[in-house]
Amino acid sequence: MNAYLRMWKAQSAAELLRTMRNRRFFLLGIVMPVMLYFVFVASVGDNVQVGGIDWKAYYLISMTAFGIIGSSLNSLGPRLAEERSRGWAKWLRTTPLPNSAYLFSKILSQAAIHLGIILLMFAVGILVKHIQMPFHFWLESGLWMLYGMIPFLALGTLLGTFDAPEVVTVLSTVLQMVLALLGGLWTPTEQMPDWMAQISHALPSYRFAEGAWDIMAGRAIPWETPAILLGYAAVFILLAVWRLNRKGTRA
């Protein structure tokens, strides 16, 4: 097997294993979104219409987005910061493992975890809440969410460039909550004051969920939605690269 592929495969498998053993990931990436989904759907009512679709489908997307954002920020950021502060990242630089294999294995294993979150949440919607949608709606929504997670993975990487893992952990959780609240993942933007809705529309969390809401409602995704997400991803990646170059260290 090619050496790069061998290293990348081993590194990705280890990252996946480490994430699965992380209680914090389970709490913020899976338990909380599922729990909030049941609570909010029960309190509002399954079949209330929001944004052109049933509340139970609308909120399923909201909570899937919430879980993915939480997983991106709370797993990737603190882990990168921790590995740098403990000297692990520095030690890795003495091994043949390339920088790119180190970083991509983290990002791709995180993407695999996110695919799991999407499948789990959709299974909850279909099997427990009996949401009925054409199969291609589910497929397209899932694929959209895999695309839409990119800025959050980039944001997690950016957070990982900060030196104090404890601060990064707190910051990641606070950011997850703020992005969810202002991005309309807990409360639809239709119910927000105008000024707040305007802020919401500018956030990546809103645009992330908006694409999937549009697919579920049978609408076309406006061009600016993927463009805004890509813009955020570019800014976060550039900032992360700039910070890492300044430090002269590995991610």
Partner 1 sequence: MLPAIDLNGVTKRFGTKTAVRDLTLRVEKGTAMALLGRNGAGKTTTLSMLLGVSAPTEGKLAVLGGKPTDAKVRNRLGAMMQEVSVIERLRVEETIELVRQYYDKPLPLRTLLEWSGLAPHAKLMTQGLSGGQKRRLSFALALAGDPELLFLDEPTVGMDIESRQRFWETIGQLKDRGKTLILTTHHMDEAERIADRVVVIDEGVLKADGTLNEIRRLNRVRTMTFTAGDGITPERLKRLAGVTDLAWEGRRVRLTATDTDRLLRQLIGEGADISDIEISAGGLEQALQTIWSGDRKGETA
DSSP 203: S
By CB under 8 A, name the one of 135, 195, 246, 248 that touches partner 1. Answer: 248
Least Å distance between CB 83 and partner 1? 6
Q: Which of 14, 56, 16, 62 is nearest to 38 (CA)?
A: 56
Task: Between 11 and 225, name the residue whose CB sits nearer to partner 1.
Answer: 11
Least Å distance between CB 233 and partner 1? 27
Q: What are the structure tokens assigned to 217, written together?
A: 């409602």
Least Å distance between CB 155 and partner 1? 22
Least Å distance between CB 58 and partner 1? 35
Inter-residue long-range contacts of 46-55, CB under 8 Å, 24+ positions, other chains counted: 46/129, 50/188, 50/190, 51/188, 51/190, 51/213, 51/217, 52/217, 52/218, 52/219, 53/213, 53/216, 53/217, 54/131
By CB under 8 A, name the one of 83, 103, 124, 225 that touches partner 1. Answer: 83
Q: What are the structure tokens assigned to 154, written together?
A: 């980039």
| Helix-helix angle 32-44:55-71, to 10 degrees | 160
By CB under 8 A, name the one of 27, 39, 90, 167 that touches partner 1. Answer: 90
242 binds partner 1 (CB under 8 A): no
Least Å distance between CB 246 and partner 1? 14
193 binds partner 1 (CB under 8 A): no
Least Å distance between CB 163 and partner 1? 14
246 binds partner 1 (CB under 8 A): no
- Residue type (1 letter), 8: W
By CB under 8 A, name the one of 2, 43, 47, 94 that touches partner 1. Answer: 94
By CB under 8 A, name the one of 35, 48, 86, 112 that touches partner 1. Answer: 86
Task: Between 21 and 136, name the residue whose CB sits nearer to partner 1.
Answer: 21
- Residue 204's contacts (CB-CB under 8 Å, 6 or more residues apart) are 151, 152, 155, 179, 183, 228, 229, 232
